Amino acid sequence: MSTENRGKSEIIVQGISASQGIAYGQVFLYIQSDVEVPAYQVEPAKRLDEVVRFDHAILVTRHQIQKIMAEVDKNLGPDEARIFDAHLLVLEDQALIAETIREFESTGFNVETCFNKVSQRYIRAFSEIDDEYLRERAGDIRDVAQRVLQNLLGQASQNLSQLVEKRVVVANDISPSDAAGIDSSQALAIVTDTGSKTSHAVIVARSMKVPAVVGVRGFTKQARAGDWVLVDGYEGFVILNPSEQTLFRYGKIQRQKKGFEERLFEANRQPAVTLDAVSITLRANIEKIEEVALVKDYFADGVGLFRTEYIYLNASRIPSEQEQYLAYKTVAEKLAPAPVVIRTLDLGGDKPMAGAAHLFPKEDNPFLGYRAIRFCLDHPDIFKDQLRAILRASAHGVIHLMYPMISGREELARANAVLDECKAELTDKKIAFDPKLKVGTMIEIPSAAITADLLAKDCDFFSIGTNDLIQYLLAIDRGNNSIAHLYEPTHPAVIRMIKNVVDEAHKQKIKVSVCGEMAGDAVYVPLLIGLGVDELSMTPPLIPAVKYLVRAMTLVDAQKLANEALEMTSPKDIYALCETFYRERVKLE
Ligand code: PEP
Ligand code: MG
């Protein structure tokens, strides 16, 4: 790295790390501003023409979006192109269009003014929703509304096509339309004022494989076009006018990370076996059918958690048994003989289904509410459609089924009874399914963990959902930033609980997997393995780092670590113990 910014003082700001990597370059400043909308009265004789003009603008906008979708599909891939489905839905929203026409008929103002007023109302309503995902959709509406307004006013749309040299894109926000205009070979990194881990900017940066830091409040006001900036997408730092010392330090970090990534990549081709020859099963967590490719790319031993709710979340209605069957069958066939653990629906709570909102009441405590198996047992038709789909797909590969949010033995028995009904129905109709289909229970509610001995009698395996288990055990909302520091996977209560689950499972000869985020963090892996966990399941890109560590440790050492941790009282000390274990075995250089 060379220095080009003599004399200016270094400014370090912290945002949210959104896409990994380090980049250094000059700022390309991109500020989106809202289209200026003139307001005037339309003469009564011209009102029909005004409505026609509006219809035409909607049509033109739809064509533009479809064109962008085709380009994005070609340049970035189908997943990224699908972001624009939400845009087309906004344009098809009859309420938005009808309200604009009503506004026009009652006020007589030009359609730009009416459409702007109505769309702003929608944007405000979405921006105020608690759910992060839905809040981000305000950006979709804004993006489409701006495009419609530009078309009504005959303005060229703003985009990032002026990015013709390698630069760091610094923007207040990056909408999907902006993203479509980025020449990915010219963007060194992306930094945005707004955004969270689910922003479009993040999806785009990851798909372009460039570092990104989002949520760097006010950064577009600090940076000037042409300033030199260093982006640390690992830790979420953005450093304006970095000093020579900083550049030197980052140069070293970058070389280390690169060398380490190459070693990880190499290790990932090898089996996950400890130095004392114990083989550890590493599986993948997936949400979409297309992620099957990642399972193979990262050499995972099949899928340990298929979060099926995403098939529902993206649909405008509950998907039919046949639609689900085809989805599950595709995944099973593509991965056979490796197993695929399909988790039944975990909708509700923080994941209400937009296309079936009437089924989910507004709740004060959604995480303690109407979700997952509770919802399914209350809607046997929906549940049975899914169970039949999974059973039918089990004839085409190795499928295991697992229930989320089981709180105790009665609930498990009820779920199994519904499954038996489905099996009987299929048998009557002579429809094939795997009669030996394994059925597991997620252990993510403390009551289930404490009664693991009872649950183990009625299922074939356990999968510990540490994300929820920790949240419920420590009473820490997993999505609440202000208490995030209290969310401690190394809390003695968590470790003891996992130990109890493993011991009770093993007494009854069933296996235990961990499929929460803890399983994909290499620092915790020796602790989990030392506690006796048999399998780990994680987001595929995390597999190389976990495998690297597995190959650098012995089971005996991991067991010693776990025994020591079980004697300790402080979460911080236990974490430090795990970190030391990790650092002693994994060196960046
Ligand atoms: C968990 O709770 O750890 C888990 C894997 O499930 P989810 O994150 O989907 O709630
Ligand atoms: Mg969970």
Cα of 169 from ligand 1 centre, angstroms = 34
- For residue 352, cis peptide bond before it (omega within 30 degrees of 0): no
pLDDT of residue 203: 65
| DSSP 8-class letter at 10 | P
pLDDT of 65: 85
Q: What is the pLDDT of residue 126?
A: 82
- Contacts of residue 2, Cβ cutoff 8 Å, sequence gap at least 6: 247
Where in the chain is CATH 3.20.20.60?
277-541
Ligand 1: does its nearest atom lie under 6 Å from the Cβ of 532?
no
Backbone angles phi, psi at 293, to 5 degrees: -60, -40
Which atom of ligand 1 sits closest to the CA of residue 465? 3
Judged against a pLDDT cut of 80, whether residue 184 lies above it is answered with: no
Are the C-beta atoms of 501 and 523 separated by less than 8 Å?
Answer: no
Nearest to 531, CA basis, from 571, 573, 503, 508: 503
Residue nearest to atom 4 of ligand 1 (CA): 465
444 CA to centre of ligand 1 in angstroms: 8
What is the average pLDDT score of the chain? 89
| Ligand 1 neighbourhood includes 515 CB (under 6 angstroms) | yes
* Nearest CA among 459, 174, 133 for reference residue 313: 133
Q: What is the pLDDT of residue 2?
A: 47
pLDDT at 201 over 90: no
Residue 158 tokens read as 């703003």
Q: Which residues contact 395 (CB under 8 A, 6 or more apart)?
A: 432, 433, 434
Residue 68 has pLDDT above 90, yes or no: no
Q: What six digits make up the tokens of 144?
A: 């489409």
Q: How far apart are CA 85 and CA 440, in angstroms?
A: 35
Q: Is the pLDDT of residue 304 over 60?
A: yes
194 lines ligand 1 (CB under 6 A): no
Query: How far is ligand 2, taken at its centre, from the CA of residue 442, in Å?
Result: 8
Residue 198 has pLDDT above 60, yes or no: no
For ligand 1, say whether the CB of 466 is within 6 Å of any of its atoms.
Answer: yes
Position 260 scores a pLDDT of 86
Whose alpha carbon is nearest atom 1 of ligand 1? 465
521 DSSP 8-state letter: -
> Which residues lie across from 29 on neighbouring strands?
170
Find the length of the chain.
589
Which atom of ligand 1 is nearest the CA belonging to 467?
A: 3
Residue nearest ligand 1's atom 10 by CA: 468
- Res 468: pLDDT: 93
Q: Could you tell me which of 191, 206, 97 has the C-alpha nearest to residue 144? A: 97
What number is the average pLDDT over the span 152-157?
Answer: 76
CB of 443 sitting under 6 A from ligand 1: no
Q: What is the mean pLDDT of residues 433-462?
A: 98
**Eight-state DSSP code of residue 350:** T
Ligand 1 nearest-atom number relative to CA 466? 3
- Helix (H/G/I), strand (E/B), else coil: 190: strand
Q: Are strands 16-19 and 535-538 parallel, antiparallel or unpaired?
A: unpaired
Check pocket membership of 489 for ligand 1, CB cut-off 6 A: no
The radius of gyration computed from the CA coordinates of the chain, to the nearest angstrom, equals 26
Range of weakest confidence among 314-328, 469-483, 535-549 = 469-483
12-67 pLDDT per residue, tens: 999 988 888 999 999 999 887 778 899 999 999 999 999 999 999 999 899 888 88
From the CA of 352, how far away is ligand 1's center (Å)? 15
Average pLDDT, integer, range 508-523: 95
| 3-state SS assignment for residue 536 | strand
Residue 180, pLDDT > 70, answer: no
CA separation for the pair 50, 43 (Å, rounded):
10
26 forms beta bridges with 228
* Whole-number Å distance between alpha carbons of 161 and 72: 14
For 44-153, CATH gives 1.10.274.10
Cβ 307 under 6 angstroms from ligand 1? yes
Query: Which residue(s) pair with 442 in the sheet?
Result: 463
CATH number for 277-541 (one of 3.20.20.80, 3.90.550.10, 3.20.20.60, 3.30.565.10): it is: 3.20.20.60
Residue 227 token pair: 């300033």
Residue 186: count other Cβ atoms within 10 Å of its Cβ: 14
- Buried b / exposed e across 113-131, counting CB within 10 Å, b at 16+? bbbbbbbeebbeebeeeee
DSSP secondary structure letter of residue 42: P
Which residues are catalytic, by number?
Answer: 200, 515
| pLDDT tens-place string over residues 116-135 | 999 999 888 888 877 767 77
Calculate how far, in angstroms, residue 393's C-alpha sits from the geometric centre of ligand 1: 23
Indicate the Cα dihedral angle 378, 384, 389, 392, nearest 10°. Answer: 150
* pLDDT winner (highest mean) among 67-71, 74-78, 213-217, 409-413: 409-413
Report the run of H or E that residue 517 belongs to, with start and end.
none
Give the residue with greater pLDDT, 273 vs 481: 273
The first and second tokens of residue 22, run together, are 């380090």
Q: Which residue is listed with tokens 């380090």? A: 22
Task: Supply the residue whose CA is at minimum distance from atom 9 of ligand 1.
Answer: 307
Helix (H, G, I), strand (E, B) or coil at 109: strand
Share of the chain above pLDDT 90, in %: 61
**Which CATH code of 3.40.50.620, 3.30.1520.10, 3.40.50.300, 3.50.30.10 fits the domain covering 11-32+159-252?**
3.50.30.10
pLDDT of residue 19: 83
Which residue from 444, 464, 542 has its CB within 8 A of the most atoms of ligand 1, so it is best to mutate?
444
Q: Distance (Å, rounded) from C-alpha 167 to C-alpha 247? A: 17
Nearest to 531 by CA among 508, 507, 497: 497
- Give residue 173's pLDDT: 83
The pLDDT value recorded for residue 481 is 61
pLDDT higher than threshold 80 for residue 413: yes
- Helices (H), ranges, 29-175: 47-75, 78-81, 83-92, 94-107, 111-127, 132-153
Ligand in nearest proximity to the CA of 515: 1
Using the mean position of ligand 2's atoms as its centre, give its distance from the Cα of residue 513 in Å: 13
The amino acid that residue 486 corresponds to is L
Greater pLDDT, 583 or 83: 583
The backbone torsions φ and ψ at residue 439, rounded to the nearest 5 degrees and listed phi first, read -120, 125
Ligand 1 binding pocket includes 468 (Cβ within 6 Å): yes
Q: From 577, 587, 463, select the one nearest 518 (Cα to Cα).
A: 463
Domain with CATH 3.50.30.10 in the chain: 11-32+159-252
pTM of the entire structure?
Answer: 0.70
